[in-house]
Chains A and B, each alone.
Chain A
């Protein structure tokens, strides 16, 4: 691999994981940060490893001119967007590829991001390939009359299907990550919710387009992890189960593999459902000639039917639980999907195929967040004064929160504190280890009024018992 310099256009723990991947690949890197993030761990790590020449303060992570300006000044040859920010922005990826001084965008090529970045377009392509999708709108709705007509249709359809409590979801079309979604149980309140989501979408995303779809009840949220290359190679790294989410539909506990029939009984053939999801995901990836890492998001209903939700054309927070249970013959230890993503974007071949990939054990990810689960997962703001967790061979912890000095949580971003990846030889062992980890973790802090920190540790502890149970 030629000597590349990667600009890490992100923050927090993902920036740290990308730095580690660059180090392991022997690549140089630079990082950016905003005023609010000056005390973040990713800045400290970069200063320690590369010095002040590798650290640039910018006005915003969301300003593409800032990223390209630093890329040019620092001589970066590639940009890793992490997740969020520019990771699924095809215009940014296109600009990187087509500018006078092209820069490699570490992700799929921009045409793929454009085509799959839109949930609506993904739905259309999936339908054309006979891949099951959720009934609902095929494009953003801007007209209240049109929205009400569709909502009425969806309610009627559910009644015809004999669904006891029909409901629909109203979503900000430009949203993501579980933000800007509300459920409507009666047509009478639809208009009120529609207007609220429309206003929210306009404020947060500058686009008031809204999507409406049938609300599936009693389902599990699953994912298929794919890794593809520019040489038309497609490999999957199995499935994940991300059903345990906050009330705002943000993931809190994830598990790989997606179901475990050895510990729970499912009302359907779990192995067949997982195989079908993988098969459908690969079918779509091959159709669009997908060429980097990506996640195919699914829901599986109690009757064992999978429905494709969307494709995330980026590395995901929870990628590592898939990597953790995957083994590639001839390679030592678990896979590092961020390293593979970088290699793939730089044009390398994968060096392995599906037959070289096997799976071992169960992995659980815990997202430690400063939030009050009893008050609707309300974010907590304040300063962390103590953060200690056990160091075990079966756990990896990614955090931007420094352990050696107080850390004030920036109010501009979600109060995520750490990602914990636990591995066990089977699901029972992984669950026990996850609970042991939580029990031994200590987080202290105070808010501006002197009240103690509120985190979701006890919620995570309770939820570990429920993983993979339908």
Chain B
């Protein structure tokens, strides 16, 4: 195997951050509830049922929507000039600099270790009903896949195309989208772990657990 786990870990340790741009999800009048440099929390609790820090309120059609942080981090680049103003959908409002945790580092490294099946086009994706049922039951990791299997439906311009898996046989180890998500061309749909790589994958997870400080 050509992947050097030490190099990968060193890379992430040197810059363990990710900047998340916070965009207005739709139109409305924005009222900020945080300040530049403020530390914010993402959702918490066993089922992530406790919302994160309130970032801003976006009011549209008399409906105030409370937008909370989805990440732990520090607020930067806050657009205070937009406070109290009508904003359009997609307007950048602030950045949150987030320090990657163990799980996130694991996911990133797994993307480099697993065989990734990418989205062939920018489109909306669904699992086939059979695959979807197994994933919903939490049985993804027991799902073996091989070339030719019908795994995903690509819905492009309202036309459905069944995508046949192409790649090495293995287990469907990670899923990177939810039914109905729109993915960019090349974005990962799912990752397949070859049977001979399973021990290495377990080793990756174990090392990050012991070496990474959250």
Contact = CB atoms under 8 A, between A and B. Distances in A.
Interface of A: 34-35, 56-60, 63, 65-66, 68-70, 72-73, 179, 199-200, 203-204, 248, 378-379, 381, 411-415, 448
Contacts of B91: 57
B91 to A, nearest CB: 8
Contacts of A72: 61
A57 B90 CA distance: 8
Interface string B73-114: 000000000000010111100000000000000000000000
B99 to A, nearest CB: 29
B26 A414 contact: no
Interface string B5-17: 0000000000000
Given A57-B91, A66-B26, A73-B86, 10 more contacts: A35-B89, A35-B90, A58-B27, A58-B89, A65-B61, A66-B89, A179-B158, A204-B155, A412-B157, A415-B157
B139 interface: no
Contacts of B123: 411
B124 to A, nearest CB: 8
Given A204-B158, A411-B122, A59 B182 contact: no
Given A66-B27, A411-B121, A56 B60 contact: no
Contact of B26 (A58, A179, A204, A248): A58
B51 interface: no
Contacts of A381: 121-122, 156
B195 interface: no
A379 B27 contact: no
B156 A73 contact: no
B63 interface: yes
B156 A56 contact: no
A379 to B, nearest CB: 5
Contacts, number: 70
B157 A65 contact: no
Q: How big is chain B's contact interface, by range?
A: 20 to 34
Contacts of B159: 248, 378-379
B25 A59 contact: yes
Contacts of A60: 26
A455 B43 CA distance: 48
Nearest to A411: B122
B129 interface: yes
Interface in B121-160: 121-123, 126, 129, 153, 155-160
Interface of B: 25-28, 60-61, 63, 86, 88-91, 121-123, 126, 129, 153, 155-160, 180, 182, 185
Given A69-B61, A70-B27, A57 B157 contact: no
Instruction: Kindly name the residue among B25, B88, B126, B185 whose own CB sees the greatest number of chain A CB atoms within 10 A.
Output: B88
B157 A59 contact: no
B158 A69 contact: no
Nearest to A177: B158
A415 B156 CA distance: 10
B182 A412 contact: yes
A405 to B, nearest CB: 20
Contacts of B160: 200, 203
A56 B88 contact: yes
A448 B28 CA distance: 36
30 contacts: A56-B27, A56-B88, A57-B27, A57-B89, A57-B90, A58-B27, A58-B89, A60-B26, A63-B26, A66-B60, A68-B61, A69-B27, A69-B28, A69-B60, A72-B61, A73-B86, A199-B129, A203-B180, A204-B158, A379-B157, A379-B159, A381-B122, A381-B156, A411-B121, A411-B122, A411-B123, A411-B156, A413-B157, A414-B157, A448-B121
A69 B30 CA distance: 13
A69 B87 CA distance: 11
Given A57-B88, A57-B90, A199-B129, A73 B155 contact: no
Nearest to A415: B157
Nearest to B186: A448
B42 to A, nearest CB: 22
A118 to B, nearest CB: 21
A179 B160 CA distance: 11
Given A65-B60, A203-B126, A411-B123, A58 B88 contact: yes
A411 B157 contact: yes
Contacts of A35: 89-90
